[in-house]
Amino acid sequence: MDGNHMEPKPSSWELTMLDGHPLLEDPYRLIFPQFYEALKKLIPSVYLESNECSQLRFVYTPLHGVGFTFMREAFYQARLKPLIPVPEQKDVDPEFPTLPKPNPEAGRDALKLGIKKAEQEHCTLILANDPDGDRLAVAELDPRGRWKLFNGNELAALLGWWALDSYKVRVAKPQVSNCIMIGTLISSRILASMARVEGFVYVEGIPSFPWIANRALELEKSGRTVLFGFEDCFGYMFGMTLPDKDGIGPAMQLASMACHLRSSRNITLIEKLREIYEVYGFHSTLSLFLEAESKEVIDDIFENIRNSNPDGGYPKSILDGEFEVVHIRDLTTGLDTSFPDRKARMPVDESIHMITFTFTNGYMVTLRTEANAHIPKIKINADIAGLPEEKDWEDLQDKLNKMTNAVIQEFLQPEEYALIDPRRTSD
């Protein structure tokens, strides 16, 4: 023994004495009853009653993750019918034996067993969490017997509408003008369009859920009511019960929405989404990426974008002037031409490239990179926001595709820089 230190007694390492010790408490037993109670308070009592009466059932998969126990209790608290789990994926298994990629963004591949179980059980709705339970994916059977897999922005439109509807039913004297919803600059602008009609405030920020949560906490501290926050890749925050990305509370809310729509109006989530577009305008998004040989190649591409005109400066149009750029935001340099002083209001980061082009016809595209990416790539996030009176949705969708292809060809020049589109690469 060192003269300056005393060795602990062997009995100090004995842990069995902790069992049953009066000072030992299980934090789960303290936290989770409060968590579920807070979630339930966000559902108006009249909607809890419709949950209890509804015959709607839901197939659920946690994709071999931790979600089943928590989702089962959330459904019980919301008076929903018990979940029908996908047996092969119900329990935690870090090997993910049934999935090539345990990620809701994998779409039909991730929900293959969920669809099989739903068809066996004659269920029309499937809920899925990612393995750590903080994201939510949803599929619904349409009248023609085809499964509609909602993308992240479509679910945000539904959940945002439901957050506002529930608030107005739940609160005796709702103050919609004091309410906030939060999205990101690469998300669909559907909630911004909803805000202009309904009177709440839509806040847009960088694609980061910590940013969304921290901004929500700041706004709540200032006296605002934060109803909803989201990012496009299936991350949602419903209310401020948990100021972070959460897959359990939003799933509980979405199931309650489905029950209410079915019992009160006999419509589906698919039909409700169409109604949202009818009222606030059709919105559609497109996300993809191109791989590059090196970071230096990407730097050259963005340098060329910033100096693409003969007189210097950013591109002003695409397709020989058919579609004109009205605003440019560059969060690498701090430029935002939508403000009189041309200075960006969002955080600037010189370690990445992020340029957003807004066009006169409601099309917006963001070209960006990520710090420390394993494979050098350029991400493209495009969005078209139609007006309520624009009813030719196919034309808007065609414009989204046409303009995105033009931006890729004219701004990124994939042939010249040998960019690779993984979608077109054969195995």
- In angstroms, the first-to-last Cα distance of the chain is 63
Q: Tell me the β-bridge partners of 125.
A: 140
One-letter amino acid at 350 equals E
* pTM (global) more than 0.85: yes
Split at pLDDT 50, 70, 90, the class of 371 is: confident
pLDDT bracket for residue 424 (50, 70, 90):
low
Sign of CA dihedral 326, 329, 335, 340: positive
Predicted local distance difference test score (pLDDT) of residue 80: 98
Look at residue 425 in the predicted model and tell me its pLDDT: 46
Confidence of residue 353 (pLDDT cuts 50, 70, 90): very high
**Residue 326 to residue 305: CA distance in whole angstroms:** 16
Q: What is the pLDDT of residue 422?
A: 84
**26-280 has CATH 3.40.120.10 classification:** yes
Strand partners, 127: 60, 138
pLDDT (tens digit per residue) in 179-221: 999 999 999 999 999 999 999 999 999 999 999 999 999 999 9
User: If you count them, how many residues does the chain have?
Assistant: 427
pLDDT number for residue 162: 99
Domain locations in the chain? 26-280, 283-424
355 φ, ψ to 5°?
-125, 130
The answer, yes or no, to whether residue 86 has pLDDT greater than 50, is yes
Q: What count of other Cβ atoms lies within 10 Å of the Cβ of residue 354?
A: 24
Q: What's the pLDDT score for residue 427?
A: 33
Token code pair at residue 160 = 């945002």
Phi, psi of 237 (to 5 degrees): -130, 110
Closest to 286 in 3D by CA, of 166, 186, 197: 186
Q: What angle do CA 69, 49, 267 make, to 5 degrees?
A: 90
pLDDT in tens, 232-288: 999 999 999 999 999 999 999 999 999 999 999 999 999 999 999 999 999 999 999
pLDDT digits (tens, 9 = 90+) for 127-182: 999 999 999 999 999 999 999 999 999 999 999 999 999 999 999 999 999 999 99
Classify domain 283-424 at the CATH class level: alpha beta
